[in-house]
Structure 1
């Protein structure tokens, strides 16, 4: 599913169930020694996907520990992103010499819980979603917006090492794509102001998956 949204430079792996033979390195196991079953399954299958994606990229197996803000600590020269939700886990990786950043997110294709949309969106975005809903009423645009904003943060943080709130990016959604207008000033990428991300999204099998990939050749 997720490979449909990614360029050739990015390697991916996904799982719709938790493989019973998925194993962790001892160093990874130590990170979830006290975790409950749900968290253990999410973590284990997420790492399993990451190792699968790294193998396809030709990277030797090694433990993936926690880095800044709990994000995976990728091998030298590698960037990546992991996501999980009920019934889905995925990981993507790429070589840093080819890709600046990548961010992914998966969510159930269902309405956001009551009250959440007002927290994660701007007034202009809510008006935008209302317009989209009149044309495609069976699409849960609020959940798509939320997923895309999660992908924005995952792409933003490795570049800037700064927090980005939901209010710091204004999204415009279109069928299968989105543009994020970044409202936080001062960030740069390849020596130029970082003001926008463009991404892709897909609905299928009861899921929403969104991705952002920033290829170096496009910025240099």
Structure 2
């Protein structure tokens, strides 16, 4: 599903498997999660299995993917990318830095946000754009969850370029829905994220795409190095 949101020069790989065979991780990766609970180890391992499939599609030899602050994946020289995992879906998206400056993908279960979380994620101006309780389900779509995912993708683009935090209220997101061309099998569209906190490394507005299919919400934001004045991707 992630591959539907990004252009062809981004290498994507995904799985719905909840675990991968023992030995999938490089020793240095395994050390990072040696004391983690089984779920955390599975999330870590399955996402990296996807990353190595994406590396092969770029013609790269698979390598260990360690992480820095805030869990930021550390990619090989000349590569940018993003990982995501939720119950029922794991994915990786990688590209060459000559084509992509920064990249963020996120996947979430298509369900309302837990009680209390929406108040932290949805700003008053965003809430006014939605209908339904707690800026939640409208037209069969849990917009609060789509919003959460979109802001996660925005953060994944922001953080590697700035190495600073971006809070949920520091991005204002508006959604646009595509015409239904799949007979209700999936819903998708675009979004714009206006950054309320600016940084010279990024444009003030980022564009992204979203899709809902088989109970999963996926979002993606891509910033090209040759378009610093207007970031994002509108057409996969």
Between the aligned partners of 1:150 and 1:134, the Cα distance in structure 2 is 18
Residue of structure 2 equivalent to 1:17: 17
Q: Which runs of 5+ in 1 are unaligned?
A: none
Between the aligned partners of 1:48 and 1:55, the Cα distance in structure 2 is 11
CA RMSD of aligned residues (A): 1.8
- What's the offset of the Cα at 1:137? 2.5
Alignment deviations for residues 54-99 of structure 1 (CA, whole Å, 9 cap, x no partner) = 1111122211111232211110111110000001100111111110
Whichever structure has more helix as a proportion of its residues is 1
Residue of structure 2 equivalent to 1:41: 42
Q: How many residues align?
A: 215
Residue of structure 2 equivalent to 1:5: 5
Between the aligned partners of 1:80 and 1:65, the Cα distance in structure 2 is 13
- What's the offset of the Cα at 1:207? 0.5
Residue of structure 1 equivalent to 2:212: 203
3-state SS, counterpart of residue 110 of structure 1: coil
Between the aligned partners of 2:51 and 2:30, the Cα distance in structure 1 is 15
Q: Which runs of 5+ in 2 are unaligned?
A: 178-188, 230-236
Conservation of the 8 A alpha-carbon contact between 1:107 and 1:209: yes
**Runs of 4+, deviation exceeding 4 Å:** 133-136
Between the aligned partners of 2:34 and 2:116, the Cα distance in structure 1 is 34
Conservation of the 8 A alpha-carbon contact between 1:9 and 1:99: no
Between the aligned partners of 1:90 and 1:49, the Cα distance in structure 2 is 6
- What's the offset of the Cα at 1:194? 2.0
**TM-score w.r.t. structure 1 length?**
0.92
1:150 to 138, 149, 152: 152
**Higher deviation after alignment, 59-68 or 106-115:** 59-68
